[in-house]
Each structure stands twice: as C-alpha cells, then as structure tokens.
Amino acid sequence: MAEWIKICEIGSLKNGDLVDFDYEDKKILIAKAEDELYATDRICTHAYADLSMGFMNESEKTVTCPLHMSSFKLADGIPQNLPAEQPLRKYNLKVQDNWVYILIDDLKSI
C-alpha cells in the first residue's frame, strides 16, 4: 500500500527553489518551477555532485549540475547534455492540506 511522507509546507517553497530531502539513505531533490513541484534523485548520475547546489532554469524546467554542467529535465530526469547520460529517478509528489508529500513506495523500490 502506498505510504506518503510529509516533506514540508507548500508555502515554504518558492519558484526557483532547489531543496534537499533525505529519507533513510536516499537523497532527494525537491524543486519548484513555475508553480509546479518536482522530485528527483539529488545526486548527479555522472559523478558525485549534489544537484541542490546546482542551478535551475525555471522556464525550461531543468536543473544544471554544479560540477560538469549537465542539465536534467525536472519532469522526467532526462539529461539534456553530456557528460551525464543516465536519467535521474523521479518521484511522485502530492499536496494535501497545504503539506507536500512524497510517495514512500517509490523510495523503497529503488
């Protein structure tokens, strides 16, 4: 059965935010771009870089790695340029009663 974990209040997230969220050993990136919320893996698929330290292009809805500058689509985690070739895993989010939740079954199935 799906289990949702509370992350933060929706009002604490601004457009352009890249927020880190840890659950057990999973490092998750929460992003808000043009009023949409996204959740992906936070560690770049090329090497070890934390994407919450990267750069968001809000209109393109991408996050760019701070180390070698690969950009990933927030919606599906697909890299847009080398050197990263593998996609980031994406996670399901929902907003309920002004709180943002992430689907825990997604995290356990990694």
Q: How far is the CB of 58 from ligand FES (least distance, A)?
A: 20
- Positions that interact with ligand FES (CB under 6 A): 44, 46-47, 49, 65, 67-68, 70, 83-84
Q: Which CB sits closer to ligand FES, 55 or 99?
A: 55
Parallel/antiparallel/unpaired status of strands 99-103 and 4-9: antiparallel
User: How far, in Å, CA of 40 to CA of 51, rounded?
Assistant: 10
Q: Which phi and psi (to 5°) does residue 90 adopt? A: -110, 155
Q: Which CB sits closer to ligand FES, 84 or 93?
A: 84
Q: Which CB sits closer to ligand FES, 7 or 84?
A: 84
- Dmax (CA) for the chain in angstroms is 40
Q: Which CB sits closer to ligand FES, 46 or 61?
A: 46
Q: Which phi and psi (to 5°) does residue 9 adopt? A: -75, 140
Q: How far is the CB of 54 from ligand FES (least distance, A)?
A: 8
User: How far, in Å, CA of 28 to CA of 66, rounded?
Assistant: 16
Q: How far is the CB of 74 from ligand FES (least distance, A)?
A: 15
